[in-house]
Structure 1
Amino acid sequence: MATNVAILASGSGSNFQNIVQSDLDISIKVLIVDNPHAYAIERAKNLDVPYRIVDRKQHTKDSFEKEILTILKEYEVELIVLAGFMKILSPDFISKYEDKIINLHPSLLPSFKGREGIKDAFEYGVKVTGVTVHYVDSGIDTGMIIAQEAVIIEDKDTLETLEEKIHEVEYRLYIEALKMVLEERQ
């Protein structure tokens, strides 16, 4: 039986669309966005995926998370997949879905944590960065790693070409890592 999944996003939703169009044995019950202008909403409409907007600017952190938890319960969500969700979840929220929240990060953790992983790696001048899929815990990008893949930064790369290379790996690696998580859950 397919696992009931909610995807949380804040922006364009390209990873959301990639997951929806994958062959994963999941039932995507709802997309939750915290930004009413996120392009992910248009993707959800085009893909016939129910979506809910919980505008972070209209809530306190507590009421924001309570509303999301209500939606997750309404849709009987078993697994939460973060796809460019740019809000840090509280330890209390995470404890309600312990080991059931998956995140994608554009660096080889534990290096270059936080919002600007690609830019930080590029500006630091490393020759290798990558992509990490991990469980979410109460730290920032500190949860148990599920999968990683390196991306070489070549001398000719610009920040924009590096971003493209990272996104290309993200689309494939996230699906592979989610398959591993789903197999473990069976």
Structure 2
Amino acid sequence: MLTVAVLISGAGSNLRALLEAANDPAFPARVVVVGADRDASGLAHAEEFGIPSFVVPWRGAAERDAWGAELQEQLQVWQPDLVVLSGLMKLLPAAVVEAWSPRIINTHPAYLPEFPGAHGVRDALAAGATRTGASVIVVDNGVDSGPVLAQERVPVLPGDDEHTLHERIKPVERRLLIDVVRRIAVGELDLTAASAH
């Protein structure tokens, strides 16, 4: 059984989808802990599903390495097989990435390498793109630059704004994330091999 730690900053819609999937006894992975960089509303999902949680408050960029060390301490308590960033809006310090690489994955609301960074949906609209997408990647020390594990196109419709487009991308992100976690758990997806390319 693959054990998973999920790190969030916000409402945790991907986290909830993963918790619902993992609630099925046939699903080969379990979320063992949920962490956040603030008192995120998504922590309520962990509570609802009886999953332990922790908060390591973000204290500003000057404290980034100390924040990372505290986060790493919390993760080490649980020894998860996989760390999932689910809307964590902070770049992890290199030491944390290196400690878990390549067993650390993230979702992104764009078809990488197109539109990396914190505003993937807004950037796609600003660029006049007719299609964007969703991706699941291995986290490296760049910004959304790690190996792509899964991705799917999502059309940009006439009249789309950032909210409507993001709402259409989210279900695709959730489905890709659940499938990637399942494939890692059953050995269909080898993160070490994916990261070697």
Q: Which moved more, 1:149-158 or 1:10-19?
A: 149-158
- Of 104, 111, 121, the residue aligned with 1:118 is 121
Match of 1:79 in 2: 82
| In structure 1, C-alpha distance between the alignment counterparts of 2:47 and 2:182, rounded to whole Å | 25
Match of 1:57 among 33, 56, 59: 59
TM-score (norm 1): 0.93
Q: Distance in 2 between matches of 1:47 and 1:180?
A: 23
The amino acid across from 1:42 in the alignment is A
Partners of 2:59 and 2:96 in 1: CA distance: 18
> Which residue pairs with 2:47 in the alignment?
45
Aligned CA-pair RMSD: 1.7
Map of 1:161 onto structure 2: 164
Q: What secondary structure, in the 3-state scheme, does the structure 1 residue paired with 2:175 have?
A: helix
TM-score w.r.t. the length of structure 2 is 0.88
2:97 aligned with 1:94: yes
CA distance in 1, matches of 2:124, 2:160: 12
Q: Deviations over 1:77-135 (max 9, x none)?
A: 22100100111012221111111000000001111110000111012110010001000
- Percent pairwise identity: 32
Match for residue 20 of structure 1?
A: 19
In the TM superposition, residue 170 of structure 1 has moved relative to its aligned partner by: 1.2
SS in 1 for 2:75: helix
Give the secondary structure class of the aligned counterpart of 1:107: coil
Following superposition, the deviation at residue 174 of structure 1 comes to 1.1
Distance 1:115 1:121 in 2: 12
> Aligned pair 1:108/2:111, yes or no?
yes
CA distance in 2, matches of 1:102, 1:47: 22
Distance 2:29 2:70 in 1: 23
**2:109 alignment partner AA:** P
Q: Which amino acid aligns with 1:112?
A: F
CA distance in 1, matches of 2:176, 2:57: 29
Task: Mark the CA change 1:106 to 1:113 in structure 2 (over 3 Å): closer, same or farther.
Answer: same
Does structure 1 retain, via aligned residues, the 8 Å contact 2:94–2:141? yes
Contact 2:68 2:95 survives alignment (8 Å): no
SS in 1 for 2:149: strand
Shift of 1:185: 5.2
Residues of 2 paired with 1:123 and 1:185: CA distance? 36
How far apart, in 2, do the equivalents of 1:152 and 1:25 lie? 32
Once residues 104 and 29 of structure 2 are traced to their aligned partners in structure 1, the CA distance between those partners, rounded to angstroms, is: 14
Partner of 2:195: none
Tell me the alpha carbon deviations over residues 28-50 of structure 1, each in whole angstroms, 9 at most, x when there is no partner: 111000012x1111121112111
Q: Does the CA contact (< 8 Å) of 2:29 and 2:181 recur in 1?
A: no
C-alpha displacement at 1:156, in angstroms? 3.2
Structure 1 portions without partners, runs of 5+: none
